[in-house]
Chain A
Amino acid sequence: NAGVTQTPKFQVLKTGQSMTLQCAQDMNHNSMYWYRQDPGMGLRLIYYSASEGTTDKGEVPNGYNVSRLNKREFSLRLESAAPSQTSVYFCASSTRRRGGGQETQYFGPGTRLLVL
């Protein structure tokens, strides 16, 4: 099992360009998440999808859109990139344990994005 995979690993964009970050998991998890991690700010949730067909905003959704393409794949789109979106982006997935709640998350390796 590959776990959670992300593409690309690195990307450099110019201000105003658009791009889509791809994420896939092969663990049959219901829930998927997108985070950004910045120095001194920690991990912040951008969007999440509790199950196939649903998406919800997290703490910092402005400037981003997401698509839960199917159970395996969850993409993050930057329509018009800004320097403030320079960050490391992590995708994660989880499944609800028996008895409810207590989800632990499995993270991908990250995408390092630089917006000039």
Chain B
Amino acid sequence: SQKIEQNSEALNIQEGKTATLTCNYTNYSPAYLQWYRQDPGRGPVFLLLIRENEKEKRKERLKVTFDTTLKQSLFHITASQPADSATYLCALVSAGYSTLTFGKGTMLLVSP
């Protein structure tokens, strides 16, 4: 069956370090993958999109990699700040489909 796995345990890091979150998938052929941020009590907010033929995408302090051989995406936040504390969701769109399938998310806690 199709699965999207994100680490269910919260990731705790110190301010200034690089946070790395993982999204693994099985039995998918994603056309592209998206990352969203969700703060408590609010709806998810889009951060980055990466296509299947792209290896890496950057936006300011954010970097996403996409390895279709490993079936994995990594999401990096460099020089992390307490304001980066949130839950981060990955979402896939399979080729030929128009809807997103979300992972369960990983909570990131950045301490000062």
Q: Which residues of A contact B (CB under 8 A)?
A: 4, 31, 33, 40-45, 48, 50, 58-59, 90, 92, 101-110
Contacts and interface: CB of A to CB of B under 8 A. Distances in A.
Given A40-B8, A42-B89, A101-B31, 16 more contacts: A33-B99, A45-B100, A45-B101, A48-B99, A59-B101, A101-B93, A103-B93, A104-B46, A104-B49, A105-B100, A106-B46, A107-B44, A107-B45, A108-B43, A110-B42, A110-B43
A38 to B, nearest CB: 10
Interface of B: 8, 31-32, 34, 41-46, 49, 51, 89, 93, 98-105
Contacts, number: 52
Contacts of A31: 98
Nearest to A104: B46
B42 A109 contact: yes
A92 B43 contact: yes
Nearest to A48: B99
Contacts of B8: 40
Contacts of A110: 41-43
Contacts of B49: 102, 104
A95 to B, nearest CB: 11
Given A104-B49, A105-B46, A108-B43, A45 B34 contact: no
